[in-house]
Amino acid sequence: MGDLFINFFSNPVPMEAYLGVSLIMFFAGVYGFLSRKSLLMILVSIELMLNAADINFVVFNRYLYPGQMEGFFFTLFAIAIAACETAVAIAIIINIYRNLTSVEVGELDEMKE
Amino acid sequence: MNFLSLFVLIPALMMMGLFVSKNRKQIQFVMATGAILLVIMSAAVTYMYLTERAAGNLATMLFTADTVWYAPFNIHYSVGIDGISVAMLLLSSIIVFTGVFASWKIDPLPKEFFLWYSLLSIGVYGFFISVDLFTMFMYYEIALIPMYLLIGVWGSGKKEYGAMKLTLMLMGGSALLLVGILGIYYQSGATSMNILEICKTNIPIQAQYYLFPLTFMGFGVLGAMFPFHTWSPDGHASAPTAVSMLHAGVLMKLGGYGCFRVAIYLMPQAAHELSWIFLILTGISVVYGAFSAIVQTDLKYINAYSSVSHCGLVLFAILMLNQTAMTGAVMQMLSHGLMTALFFALIGMIYGRTHTRLITEMGGLMKIIPFFGVSYVIAGLASLGLPSLSGFVAEMTIFVGSFQETDTFHRVLTIVACTSIVITAVYILRVVGKILYGAVQDKHHEHLDPATWYERLSVVTLIVAIFAVGSAPFWISSMISDSVMPVITQLAK
Amino acid sequence: MAQQIIFFILAAMIAVFSVLAVTSKRIIRSATYLLFVLLGTAGLYLLLGYHYLFAVQIAVYAGGVMVLFIFAILLTNRPGENVKTERKDRRIAAGITSLAGLAFCGHIIYWNVNKMYTLVVPAEQKIQDIGLTLMGTDKYQYLLPFEFISVLLLACIVGAIMIARKR
Amino acid sequence: MQYTLLIVLLPLISFIVLGLMDSKWKPQVAGIIGATVLGIITLLSYITAFEYFSFHKINGVYEKLIPMHVEWIRFTQYLHIDLGILLDPISVMMLVVITTVSLMVNIYSLSYMHGEKGFQRYYAFLSLFTFSMLGLVVATNIFQMYLFWELVGVSSYLLIGFYYTKPSAVAASKKAFIVTRFADLGFLVGILFLSFYTKTFDFGVLTSGNASVFASTTGVSFMGLSVMSWAMGLIFIGGAGKSAMFPLHIWLPDAMEGPTPVSALIHAATMVVAGVYLVARLFPVYEVYAPDVLHGIAYVGAFTSLFAAVIACVQTDIKRVLAFSTISQIGFMMVALGVSGYGSHEGLGYMASMFHLFTHAMFKALLFLGAGSVIHAVHSNEMNHMGGLRKYMPITNWTFLIACLAIAGIPPFSGFFSKDEILSACYEFSPYMGGVMTFIAGLTAFYMFRLYFNIFWGKEHKHAHTPHESPFAMAFPLVFLACVTVVAGFIPFGHFVTSDLANYDIHLDYTVAGISVGVAILSIALATIMYRKESEVPKKLATTFAGLHKAASSRFYVDEVYIFITKKIIFNLISTPIAWFDRHIIDATMDGFGGVTQWTSSRIKSFQSGQVQQYAYVFLLGTLFIAALVYFIH
């Protein structure tokens, strides 16, 4: 354990540290996705997972293919798409709330207006 | 496209006519015209067939035509007829015709009813004119589907259950059939699914061993073979009149026809080897159906079980694998088609008046509605094999034919099957005695409407047909027996 | 050394807040925690030398998306109300599965990843390069996806208005 | 002799016309049409008989004529049903018998059935019956016979059930049809056996004596018995059904539910002798190829005869008595055939049987019509509602007496001659048989006179209205048949009908004749003592032999056995379980398939909940699983 700390602080930040962070973030997102009922919370969880993925892309780009920019752009586009998605999702959520006064997934089994 | 396709085209045109017709009058006009056209067509085809044969044309199938439908899979649309198809076409036309009149005032949704009815007849006609396995199977499926809606929507009693059961069991049968047909096609190595072509090839005997039971059972389900007959009582009991007529009268014949044309014709060796299994099953059907009919109390159930018995006899005779018995089988198809249609027509008409089908709740109807009473007695007598009515010639041909097999197994089975004529008498007379004779059971039954003209037309047509087949069987018998010959030669190989 | 410490702080922040974001009872708090996570992520981008990405992350996520979130929350939630969670057994199952996934992936990362890379000193990316790459049509250039994204964005705008407008 | 076709076809046309017209015509019109048609064909058959017996004898042997035939349906290369007309001595004789009795019944019914609802229908059915019966007797082949046999059965069914609102009539008609149908099953299978080995249905070929026809039957056995025994035995079962041989006789007494003229026509004179006719028709085959069956027929006939005679002694319904008497007399005919051989003198039994058939038809029709006349007068079938009617109904009384004397075998009435021939034949076969038959003849005389005295003598019963003699249309047939009964015995029957178609001169065997007349007179005397005046003897006898009396009155419980078999065994032990099995095993299995499918799908269904979270969860698990799999396998 001591070695680990010494290594960590003496060397540049290793890739697995970044990956570990994104991992925690991702599985927190997964847990949130599975355990929450509110659509908004699910959306929050999705954002978490997307961010985790974004970090991974960037990290891989930086550590494995430093001369290229694929990961970077992927993340860029992912952020853009995530923004779109959030916008639409929130529009839908608000609309649902307007109709059903609820944003709980369990209660949304009717497709009617 | 030769003129045989008209049999499919006319119902299709009827459907179009129905689409544009606006009221009941027009619907009736369209249906009546179409049905009469079909009768005329089939009479014409019979005449043409007989003249062609008289002119010495010895081909297995006459008036054949072949169109490639989908070349990569060798799917053709091919039609053609022999004496058996001619007999079946005649039967179908008569029953479609009488069915139209039996449901002349169908309510509700007459247009939709007749639409499905016409689609059903497309399937039936198509099946009888096709000589290609694929076309045959396709028409078979076309005939099955409308059944579900016709029973489910216009039926009575436990109609959803009956419709579901009938459709599912028949679909199960057709699943077996599909495997069988594809198996036949691939194992034969033929370049098309045309029956005439496949019969020239030799399907390996190992393949026949599993393809024969598959095909036979597939068609046997439709032919109400024990133990796959249970759709028949429930389905027929809940079906509307015309549908019962068409189903029991024609559709059940598809089974026998298919067994004959596909299972036996294409796989003669397996037919020889395995016929005993099915002989036992069909032998059971014959006696079992008859005994079951004795204790039923619902008229339609009685007739459905009686159909099980009679159709069992058809398959039984086919499996005897000789010319006489097979001729008898086809005649029995014809005869049973006519008389069971008559039965169902009458039951429907009686039910329409008494609002009950339980024989315990009826009695003395002969005095109140004599037309139906007399017709019912005639139907009953035909069913129990009175000479000069169609049942007699058919059954006798079957029994004489079956007796040509000399070994004890066939003998005993034949004698067992013969006993059905006694049991049939028991249940027929029981019904006749209970519902027609005796005292009137229900005072609401004392004044029932007399038969209307369209009901009379429908019933009389069927009775005349029954008499025609029963009194002058020679021409139809010889026509059929000539057409059985190719199968016999195939079996002798 | 400073880099490591910054990373450590950011990592701890992200880990703690992401867990808090999904376990918090109040939805508004969850959103706030999410904001911290997003900011932490932006920090990581900076740490990795992607300044542009850092800016985008802050502007789009922490700025745009979070505002949307907060509005949505305020519109749909009655203040003070707890967020409903799934049934307990489901939550436990979800937790176990997540932990299992975490363990499994962590195992892979810990034992396998360190053998694969060589660290190159992070260098700042030139904004011109980004612009050229984004607008070019050659290999490794991204005009087509860019256009797609723009169309997608347009569609989203239209869609969101269509969905959310009053009837 | 083409015109013989008309004999068969006219009744058919009459049936169709009457049947289609039904109630559109007045009843009288229908009756007159029916009777006229019958008159015409009776005339035609007399002409046929005259022409045949006069001109168609070659070298002392009658030829077999087939004036016309057509192929009706072809089964195999050899087997085909022809419809045709075969004229030989027995068929011509039957033509005469049937048309005569039928004509009488038609005339009689004009009055007897007057005012009944369904009069037209009645005449239509009578025509149908006449048609089928005539078709049966002129059949050229065994299948044609079977065909008309069935038609006869149906017309009998329709006529017994004529009063269809009466439950007993409906039940009786049903019973008659089903019992005979059961017998016909035997007939059919017998035909199948016979035709399979001989390759023909044709009577001409079968009875030609050509051994090559039967060549393939030698040594063939089926389940232990020789094939010819099977075939002929089964065919006899068919005959036994129609001719009411024990134990298939049960339908005949019940058949008396039909109108009385119908009983006279069908259940006394014509249809019930169809079995005898069948055996006679195939007699050469029985005689050569199945002698054991022939002997069996003799024993069955004798037993039935005795059995029925005993029952007839205690019945109280006059039509029932006559019915059992008919059974007994048909037994006589069967015995005669059974003991007969082939040839001129050996064929005595055959000749006697046919002779008895002829005379019996006449006097039994007379008895039934007389009984009908009595029933018409007193409106009851029961003996104890009658008595002393001789004062009111002289014609009926005299004609009935003549018929009773004839059946009792008193010379010079026709029954004496025919019965005497039968007894002679029996004595030649074996003395025991002769003795038994003589005893039965005595019983016959006894019960007939018991009947006679109970109706016309004895204590007068109070009637609601005074009985009166029947009108002319009913009296005429009685008188006519009485005349025939008186003279028929003097017909030199052996000149017309013999087993080998050659002449045979009947000689009265005076010993036999003496014994039988003696026995008959003794029995009549006994009956006179017991029943002419009211006396205590019958009651005493009944109490002395209480068991026997009771058993005989309930017809030896054969009906109970029948009911047991149909109700308990067929209905309750076979059909009900089968129906149950069908519903609860077969159908339940089929439904079970559906049920299993539904159950499975309802289980699987919860996976398709539509909840994205659940999908995600499963997806995640799956991903993890696959990843772990891949990872750890590497």
Which tens digits make up the pLDDT trace of D253-286? 888 888 888 888 887 778 888 888 888 888 888 8
- Chain A within 8 Å of D612 (Cβ-Cβ)? yes
Identify the pLDDT of residue D61: 77
Tell me which of B158, B171, B230 to substitute to probe the interface with D (most D C-beta atoms closer than 10 Å). B230
Chain A contact for C2 (CB, 8 A cutoff): no
CB proximity list for B233: less than 8 A, separation 6 or greater: B296, B300, B301, B304, B305, B308
| Candidate from D613, D620, D631 with C-beta closest to C101 | D620
Give dist(CA D272, CA D329) in Å, integer.
11
DSSP state of B433: I
Query: For the ranges C41-55, C103-117, C152-166, D511-525, which has the lowest average pLDDT?
Result: C103-117
- Quick check: A112 pLDDT over 50? no
Q: How far is A35 from chain C (nearest CA, A)?
A: 5
D616 CB within 8 Å of a chain B CB: no
Across the interface, of A40, A44, A79, the residue whose CB is closest to C56 is A79
CA distance B7 to B89: 9
Q: CA-CA distance, C155 to C45, in Å (whole number)? A: 29
Q: Please give the structure tokens belonging to residue B220.
A: 């046997």
Chain A 24-83, residues with CB within 8 Å of chain D CB atoms:
30, 33-34, 42
Residue D608, pLDDT score: 73
Q: Which amino acid is at B384?
A: L
Kindly state the tokens that stand for D391.
């004062």
Q: Do A81 and C149 make contact, defined as CB atoms within 8 angstroms?
A: yes
Tell me the sheet residues that pair with B132. B194
Residue of C31, C134, C159 with shortest CB distance to A44: C31
Query: Chains touching chain C at 3 or more Cβ pairs under 8 angstroms?
Result: A, D
Q: Does the structure show a pLDDT above 80 at A103? A: no
Does residue D602 sit at the A interface (CB-CB below 8 Å)? Answer: no
Tell me if C104 and D621 make a contact (CB, 8 A cut-off). Answer: no
Burial of D459 (0-12, 13-18, 19+ CB in 10 A): exposed
Which residue bears the tokens 């691939």? B186
Q: What is the mean pLDDT of residues B13-21?
A: 86
Contacts of D394 (CB under 8 A, 6+ apart): D469
Confidence tier at D631 by pLDDT (50, 70, 90): confident
Q: Report yes or no on chains B and D touching (3+ CB pairs under 8 A).
A: yes
Distance (Å, whole) CA B467 – CA B487 = 29
Q: Which of A30, A97, A104 sits opposite C101 (nearest CB)?
A: A30
How far is B244 from B347, CA to CA, in rounded Å? 10
Distance to chain D for A30, nearest Cα, Å: 9
CB count in 10 Å sphere of residue D450: 25
Q: What is the pLDDT of residue C84?
A: 67
D595: nearest CA partner in chain B: B165
* Chain C contact for D619 (CB, 8 A cutoff): no
Question: How far from A60 is each of A54, A57, C4, CA to CA, in Å?
Answer: 10, 5, 18
Residue type, D470: S
Identity of the residue numbered D56:
H
Query: Going by beta carbons, is chain C in contact with chain A, meaning 3 or more pairs sit under 8 Å apart?
Result: yes
Residue A52 has pLDDT above 70, yes or no: yes
Beta-bridge partners for A73: none
Instruction: Say yes or no: D624 contacts chain C, CB-CB below 8 A.
Output: yes
Task: Identify the top-confidence range among B83-92, B399-408, D583-592, D607-616.
Answer: B83-92
The answer to whether residue A105 neighbours chain D at the CB level (below 8 Å) is: yes
Residue C17: pLDDT band (50, 70, 90) is very high
Contact C61 A79 (CB under 8 A): yes
| Contact yes or no for C86 and D613 at CB 8 A | yes
Q: At what angle do helices B390-402 and B299-319 cross, to 10 degrees?
A: 40
Contact between residue D275 and residue D243 where contact means Cβ atoms under 8 Å apart: yes
- D613 Cα to chain A: minimum distance (Å): 5
User: What digits encode the pLDDT tens for the residues D433-446?
Assistant: 888 888 888 888 88
Range of the domain at A82: 2-106
pLDDT tier for residue C93 given thresholds of 50, 70 and 90 = confident
Q: Which of D134, D142, D109, D147 is nearest to D42 (CA)?
A: D134
Which of C17, C48, C78 to probe by mutation at the A interface, max A CB count within 10 Å?
A: C48
Kind plus residue range of the DSSP H or E element containing D67: strand D65-74
Residue type, D409: G
Is the CB of residue C102 less than 8 Å away from at least one CB of chain D? no
Q: Where do we find the tokens 């070929």?
A: D205
Q: Do chains A and D touch (3 or more CB pairs under 8 A)?
A: yes
Instruction: Identify the residue with better confidence: B335 or D576.
Output: B335
Given CB atoms, is A106 within the 8 Å cutoff of chain D?
yes
- Looking at residue B322, its pLDDT comes to 86
Q: How far apart are the C-alpha atoms of B125 and A95, rounded to whole Å?
A: 56
Give the largest Cα separation in chain D, rounded. 123
Q: How many domains does chain A have?
A: 1
**pLDDT tens-place string over residues B440-465:** 777 777 777 887 888 888 888 889 99
Alpha-carbon gap, residue C163 to C134, rounded angstroms: 31
CATH of domain C2-88: 1.20.120.1200
D388 has a pLDDT exceeding 80: no
* DSSP state, residue D89: H
Does C159 reach chain D within 8 Å, measured CB to CB? no
Task: For chain A, give the mean pLDDT.
Answer: 81
Instruction: Please name the residues in contact with B437: beta carbons below 8 A apart, sequence gap of 6 or more.
Output: B363, B364, B366, D161, D164, D165, D167, D170
Phi, psi torsion values for D73, nearest 5 degrees: -150, 145
Which among D148, D161, D182 has CB closest to B437?
Answer: D161
Asked if residue C41 has pLDDT above 70, the reply is yes
For the cut 70, the answer to whether the pLDDT of residue D578 exceeds it is: yes
Residues D214, D179 contacting (CB under 8 angstroms): no
Domain borders along chain C are 2-88, 125-167
As a whole number of angstroms, the distance between CA B227 and CA B308 comes to 10
Assigned domain for A45 exists = yes
pLDDT tens, residue by residue, D183-234: 888 888 888 888 888 888 888 788 777 777 777 777 677 676 778 888 888 8
Q: pLDDT tens digits, residue range C116-166? A: 566 666 666 778 888 888 888 888 888 888 888 889 889 888 888 887 776
- Side chain identity at B200, as an amino acid letter? K
pLDDT band at A8 (very low <50, low <70, confident <90, very high): low
Rounded distance between C-alpha atoms, residue D335 and residue D297, angstroms: 7
Residue D338 token pair: 């059974």
What residue ranges in B170-239 does DSSP mark as E strands?
A: none
**CATH code assigned at A48:** 1.10.287.3510
Q: For chain D, how big is the Rg over CA atoms in Å? A: 31
DSSP states along B71-101 = GGGTEEEEEEE-HHHHHHHHHHHHHHHHHHH
Tens digit of pLDDT for each residue in B364-403? 888 888 888 888 888 988 888 888 888 888 888 888 888 8
Residues of C whose CB is below 8 A from D627: 104
Spell out the residues 6+ positions from residue C44 whose beta carbon is closer than 8 angstroms to its own: A18, A21, A55, A58, C7, C10, C14
- D611 contacts in A (CB within 8 Å)? 105-106
Contacts of D128 (CB under 8 A, 6+ apart): D11, D12, D15, D19, D151, D155, D158
Rounded mean pLDDT, D421-426: 84
Q: Please indicate whether, in this complex, the C-beta atoms of D617 and A106 are within 8 angstroms of each other.
A: no
Residue D73 has pLDDT above 70, yes or no: yes
Give me the domain span that covers residue B326. 3-491
* Residue C108 contacts D, CB cutoff 8 Å: yes
Q: Is residue A51 part of a domain?
A: yes
Q: What confidence score (pLDDT) does residue A113 get?
A: 41
Give D6's contacts (C-beta < 8 A, 6+ positions apart): D40, D41, D44
CA D633 to chain A, closest CA, distance in angstroms equals: 23
CB D99 within 8 A of CB D91: no
Question: Is B235 in contact with B247 (CB distance < 8 Å)?
Answer: yes
Q: Find how far residue D139's CA is from the centre of its chain.
A: 17
Smallest CA–CA distance, residue B176 to chain D, in Å, is 16
- Are the beta carbons of B114 and B34 closer than 8 angstroms? no
Q: Does the beta carbon of A78 lie under 8 angstroms from any beta carbon of chain C?
A: no
Chain A residues inside the 8 Å CB shell of C65? 47, 82-83, 86
pTM here? Answer: 0.81
Distance CA D142, CA A92 (A): 89
D631 touches chain C (CB under 8 A): yes
Per cent of chain D over pLDDT 70 is 97
pLDDT per position as a tens digit, A10-47: 677 788 888 889 999 999 999 988 888 888 888 889 98
Greatest distance between any 2 Cα atoms in chain A: 62
Q: How many A-D residue pairs are in contact by the CB < 8 A criterion?
A: 15
Instruction: Name the token pair of C147.
Output: 């256009």
- pLDDT of C82 reads 66
Residues in chain C closer than 8 A to D620 (CB atoms)? 97, 101
